[in-house]
Amino acid sequence: MATILLTAGPTRAYIDAVRFITNASSGRMARALAQALLTRGHRVTIVSGPVAIRYPRGARVIPVMTTGEMLEAALAELPGVDGVIAAAAPCDFEPPRRAAGKIPRSAAGIALALSPTVDVIATLAARAKSSRPARGRRPTWCVAFALEPGADARRACAKITAKHCDLIVVNDLTALESAATVVSVYDAGHDLVGAKRGTKAVVAAWLVRLVERLFVA
């Protein structure tokens, strides 16, 4: 049995007190992963952005809103987990500051400058790799998800190298708001270790068994 940290859902980048930009993530893949992990007897903590779904009752859920909050909550949980599965779709860009109150409507419009947010899974993986595991424990492993147009393997493999993760799960834009998905999984050496098509529940169960085979003694 392992203790797994899941990141899930979208995050919000606030423009002012009432407006924000976000990503189109429903949290369904993370919910399916959480259920599959619980069914296999693992302990699950989910750090989740705002979603309309309910996660399985056996999972511990930490709600967050922004990418920074997601990273802060995940870092706090990292020392106590055996592995991380980053299924969230956090905002990659945000305004440099949140305007106070509500920006008045203007016929002239507004120009919105966006800066990159912190990379949640890259930061978690770097912290995991630099930390010495407790005696008797294996190093914390990290699995990233990559949503790529056309499930582009080259872009995904570039990401796994840049983020220093152990596996990357690649899916296509058709996975958004869908009950089904198609994934390909690559390791740190850019080798394809498996692929699966089906409902998110079926794919999640397959992914959990793959992770168990590779990382869970």
- Using CB atoms within 10 Å of the CB of residue 194, give its burial: 0 to 12 exposed, 13 to 18 middle, 19+ buried: middle
At 78, give phi and psi (nearest 5°).
-55, -40
- Using CB atoms within 10 Å of the CB of residue 21, give its burial: 0 to 12 exposed, 13 to 18 middle, 19+ buried: middle
Options 7, 11, 23, 45, the catalytic residue = 23
How far, in Å, CA of 81 to CA of 37, rounded? 14
Residue 203: what residue type? Answer: V
Active site residue 171: no
Beta carbons of 90 and 49 less than 8 angstroms apart: yes
Kindly state the helix (H) or strand (E) to which residue 161 belongs, with its residue range. helix 153-163
Residue 16: what residue type? Answer: D
Q: How many residues does the chain have?
A: 217
Residue 159: what residue type? Answer: K
C-alpha distances in Å from residue 203, one per residue of 28, 108, 128: 12, 48, 26
Mention every residue, 6+ apart, whose C-beta is less than 8 A from residue 200. Answer: 28, 29, 32, 178, 179, 180, 181
Q: Which residues form the catalytic set?
A: 23
